[in-house]
Amino acid sequence: MKTKDRFVDIDRALKDLQESISRIRGIDTSEIERKVDSFRRELNEGISRWSCVELSRHAMRPGVDDFIAGIFTRFTELKGDRFMEDDPAVVGGPAFLDDTPVMVVGHRKRTPGKKDYVHYHYGMSGPSGHYKALRLYRLAEKFSRPIVTFVDTPGAYPAPEAEERGQAFSIALCIQALSSVRTPVVACIIGEAGSGGALALGYGDRIIMLENAFYSAISPEGFSSIVFKDAKRKELAAETLRGTGRDLYAAGIVDYLVKEPVGGAHNAPGKVVEEVGKALRRYVAELARMPLEEIMRARDAFIERLAPSSP
């Protein structure tokens, strides 16, 4: 296995080494600790895009529940799509950002502190999840609440029954709603953001993204399988996709880049949640001061830039 494929393991070993050195008594270990810390930082600066993908999937990375609990108050979860079922991969409901009432919607991969990914379909939502999100978007518009979304999904749920019930159509409805809803929208990319499943929650008037999150039209493994006919070339696929937070911030797609602690967000989740909260407060306040028609015109201008020009 190549070194770049084992960034998470190497950083964990170095962190354990730091902690072990700090427990040594009777000798001055400050210089050794400094050198280990310096090496960790150098390793972190040279991280590959595939290592970012691995970090975006880390089992202890802060998820939507951590951000909701650490940023908002009086959150009330609303369940169900009012048609068939409740999709556990999407969580949402009204909450307060300090004194500002908002609507929060996000992908849920697992229960905090557990690895019950299967129950939540690994954060991959089906039509019921998209219709739930759509219902919450419209409720936010009705009560003039800014919408805050948290994106963390490998993609839409790929089961046959999801396709039979109109997976693509439900995603399209969410994209249409987010681009036309008459209330401000702030999107936060906190982990994986793959394909149409991410787009259902990923549009925003302002976009916040974590440094090692990865936002792309397809997963590196999927890209590698289709383009290279070999899923093992996922590292090259990740480099080609260029979907890290740093990449998208440099390209002007992301408005605010949240720096992660050395080794990834799982090493200091509280600090990451705090930084996202600061950015959210800034953008929600900024958009609240803007006339709604100005926000709508900015969306129209953005869509026009994306539309292909006439021949």
Six-digit token string for 11? 């950083």
Q: Which of 114, 67, 15, 97 is nearest to 269 (CA)?
A: 67
Q: Where are the domains of the chain?
A: 3-46, 52-306
Which of 19-23, 43-47, 190-194 has the highest mean predicted lDDT (pLDDT)?
A: 190-194
Question: Whose structure tokens read 């691995």?
Answer: 54
Six-digit token string for 281? 């407060």
Residues 53-77 pLDDT 10s? 999 999 999 999 999 999 999 999 9
Tell me the one-letter amino acid at 156: A
Average pLDDT over residues 76-98: 94
Secondary structure (3-state) at 150: strand
- Predicted confidence (pLDDT) at residue 214 exceeds the cutoff of 90: yes
- Predicted confidence (pLDDT) at residue 21 exceeds the cutoff of 90: no
In this prediction, residue 9 has a pLDDT band, given cuts at 50, 70 and 90, of confident
Q: Where are the beta strands (DSSP E) in 140-260?
A: 147-153, 185-194, 206-210, 214-216, 256-258
- Predicted confidence (pLDDT) at residue 1 exceeds the cutoff of 50: no
- Cα 11 from Cα 48, distance rounded (Å): 13
- Cα 147 from Cα 139, distance rounded (Å): 10
In this prediction, residue 43 has a pLDDT band, given cuts at 50, 70 and 90, of low
For residue 277, the model assigns a pLDDT of 98
Q: Which residues of 68-81 are buried (b: 16+ CB within 10 A; e: fewer)?
A: beebbeebeeeeeb
- Predicted confidence (pLDDT) at residue 2 exceeds the cutoff of 60: no
Share of the chain above pLDDT 90, in %: 74
Give the rounded distance of the alpha carbon of 298 from its chain centre: 23
For residue 280, the model assigns a pLDDT of 98
- Cα 236 from Cα 92, distance rounded (Å): 36
Tell me the one-letter amino acid at 162: A
Six-digit token string for 258? 């949240």
**How many other C-beta atoms lie within 10 A of the C-beta of residue 42?**
10
Six-digit token string for 195? 């394909």
- Predicted confidence (pLDDT) at residue 37 exceeds the cutoff of 80: no
Residues 160-204 pLDDT 10s? 999 999 999 999 999 999 999 999 999 999 999 998 999 999 999
Q: Provide the CB-side half-sphere exposure for 287 (13 A, CA).
A: 27
- Predicted confidence (pLDDT) at residue 216 exceeds the cutoff of 80: yes
For residue 4, the model assigns a pLDDT of 45
Q: What is the pTM of this model?
A: 0.87
For residue 129, the model assigns a pLDDT of 96
Q: What is the bridge-based pairing of β-strands 100-107 and 90-97?
A: antiparallel
Q: Provide the CB-side half-sphere exposure for 281 (13 A, CA).
A: 13
| Topology given in CATH for the domain delimited by 52-306 | 2-enoyl-CoA Hydratase; Chain A, domain 1 (3.90.226)
- Cα 110 from Cα 102, distance rounded (Å): 23
- Predicted confidence (pLDDT) at residue 307 exceeds the cutoff of 80: no
- Cα 33 from Cα 208, distance rounded (Å): 33
For residue 42, the model assigns a pLDDT of 65
- Predicted confidence (pLDDT) at residue 281 exceeds the cutoff of 70: yes
Cα–Cα–Cα angle for 125, 127, 128, rounded to 5 degrees: 85
Rg (CA), the chain: 20
